[in-house]
Amino acid sequence: MSAGTARLFDHPAAANPPGVARVAVLVAGENLQTRTLLASILTAFGVGAVLRAFSGANALELFQQMRRCPEQVGISGLDLVIADWEMTQIDGAALLRWIRRHPDSPDRFLPFIAMGTSPSEDQVRAARDLGASQFIARPFSIEILCEHLDSLIRDTRDYVQIHDYFGPDRRNRDVPVAVNQRSDDIGDRLGVRHLFAPKRLAAKLGGRFEPDPEHLAEARKKLDVWQDEFVATVEKYLARAELRFAEIESSHDAAARHKGLADLNSISHHLYGHGGSFGFPLVITVSQSLHQLTGRKHEVDTDYLELVRAHLDTLQAVLKVGLHSDGGKVGRKLVHELYRANRKFARRSADRRVAGSG
């Protein structure tokens, strides 16, 4: 076993219900905090074995190890995969495609939950069209995660094979269509094959996902601690950003100002990365805008400094309104005001360039 695959398991206490304790889940993602959190929540639910892969490539390595030497991995099969959709090199799409289509796949029917931060409709549609069972958006609550798991277990859809698609029937509702482009005749070029999918996960859990109340309370506690740590991380980076901005404002040396802006650019990049890893859209939006602003060459004048100040004030306000979802009306208003300030600055910069060229 490679060094990267060591210590992959989280084992719950022996007192957990035997059905849950028989379940094996693979969590794949490149961010350590995200996969650690999800693994700890699943363990709190009582899941018997949680494997953690630090990349899509590492996940494929684990699948191959389970096939060749299951004793090294500790299990011979999985009941569920939860994978980050946005990974480098081998992303969630490539991993799912391999599971559904590759001849070496250990289980083409393996339930697959994709996960992403504020996923777009195109991402969700792409996951569905590759055969994903579910798509969970970060940030998620314990209740939302339970709802997805319960819905997955109670899913009665057939698996279908049609053209290059293999996976759960994408028609999950009986809705009339104007033109039916499907045919159940496998000899027809539009023929669709309905395949019986073994419901191993549902069988192990008795057809429902109903964690013990004590396990739910433990999972909520873990999520709360994780969120508190994220807030502390944002506060730490913001304190550094405020210090750098004060140095920029007080300095009259161009080189020192540009050095301070480079530091702000790095800080905003870290904030963007943490926001994406932990799944907080407001932090992502504002820090990305600040990263773009400080990464471009602008005259460091009053207008520019006011716009940088507006970004820092918005991040401070985000901490006050809360980090969940988009912050509701208050969060959307904050982002709207920031975008308006960006547009105002862009117009002034354009006007100065035109005046200068004249």
What is the mean pLDDT, run by run of 10 residues, along the chain of 358 residues?
43 54 93 87 93 95 87 83 93 95 92 87 92 88 90 89 85 52 48 79 89 89 82 89 94 91 92 73 89 89 93 88 66 88 87 64
Q: Which DSSP category does 141 fall into?
A: -
**Where along the chain do the CATH 1.20.120 domains lie?**
219-357
CATH T-level topology, domain 3-157+197-210: Rossmann fold (3.40.50)
Using CA atoms, how far apart are residues 49 and 26, in angstroms rounded to an integer?
8
186, HSE (Cβ side, Cα atoms, 13 Å): 5
End-to-end CA gap in the chain = 68
pLDDT of residue 177: 45
Longest dimension (CA), the chain: 79
pLDDT of residue 40: 92
Strand blocks (E) in the chain: 24-28, 49-53, 80-84, 112-117, 134-138, 159-162, 165-168, 193-195
In the numeric block, which tokens belong to residue 243?
């210090």
pTM of model > 0.75: no
pLDDT of residue 356: 63
pLDDT of residue 211: 87
Give pairs for 184-191: CB < 8 Å, separation 24+.
190/162, 191/162
pLDDT of residue 29: 92
pLDDT of residue 42: 94
Q: Which DSSP category does 197 fall into?
A: P
Strand blocks (E) in 134-278: 134-138, 159-162, 165-168, 193-195
**Where along the chain do the CATH 3.40.50.2300 domains lie?**
3-157+197-210
298, HSE (Cβ side, Cα atoms, 13 Å): 22
Summarize the chain as % helix, strand, coil (round to 5). Answer: 55, 10, 35
pLDDT of residue 318: 85
219-357 CATH, one of 3.40.50, 1.20.120, 3.30.70, 3.30.430: 1.20.120
Using CA atoms, how far apart are residues 34 and 32, in angstroms rounded to an integer?
6
Decide: 128 and 70 in contact? Cβ < 8 Å. Answer: no
pLDDT of residue 15: 44
Torsion of CA 240, 246, 250, 254, to 10 degrees: 50
Q: Letter for the amino acid at 148?
A: H
- Please choose, from the candidates 286, 288, 283, 292, the residue with its C-alpha nearest in 3D space to the C-alpha of residue 337: 286
pLDDT of residue 12: 45
User: What are the distances in angstroms from CA 114 to CA 26, 198, 343?
Assistant: 12, 20, 35
